[in-house]
């Protein structure tokens, strides 16, 4: 099951968004390396969701949020990511 979820993280946007809540729910820390790669995904909504999952599994420290915020264009998503720094 965990391997299936990790494969979903390498899939398309829909697959990624489906897998994220499951990763958070089961606190799958072995997904952190794949989540880190997704922080540079082109879809800002996906990036925001990935960061929320990292925060929920206490792994947000593995990402430089300031670097991520610089790349985000949507002011609403930028504001959400700013709150993750707290």
Q: How long is the chain?
A: 86
**30-72 confidence digits (pLDDT tens):** 999 999 999 999 999 999 999 999 999 999 999 999 999 999 9
**63-84 confidence digits (pLDDT tens):** 999 999 999 999 999 999 999 9
Q: 10 Å Cβ neighbour count for 37? A: 12
Overall pTM surpassing 0.85 (yes/no): yes
Rounded distance between C-alpha atoms, residue 54 and residue 29, angstroms: 9
């Amino acid at each position: 099951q965990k391997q299936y979820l990790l494969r979903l993280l390498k899939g398309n946007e829909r697959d990624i968004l489906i897998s994220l809540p499951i990763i958070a729910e089961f606190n799958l820390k072995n997904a952190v390396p794949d989540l880190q790669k997704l922080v540079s995904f082109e879809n800002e909504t996906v990036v925001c969701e990935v960061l929320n999952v990292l925060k929920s599994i206490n792994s947000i420290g593995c990402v430089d949020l300031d670097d991520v915020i610089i790349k985000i264009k949507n002011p609403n998503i930028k504001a959400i990511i700013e709150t993750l720094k707290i």
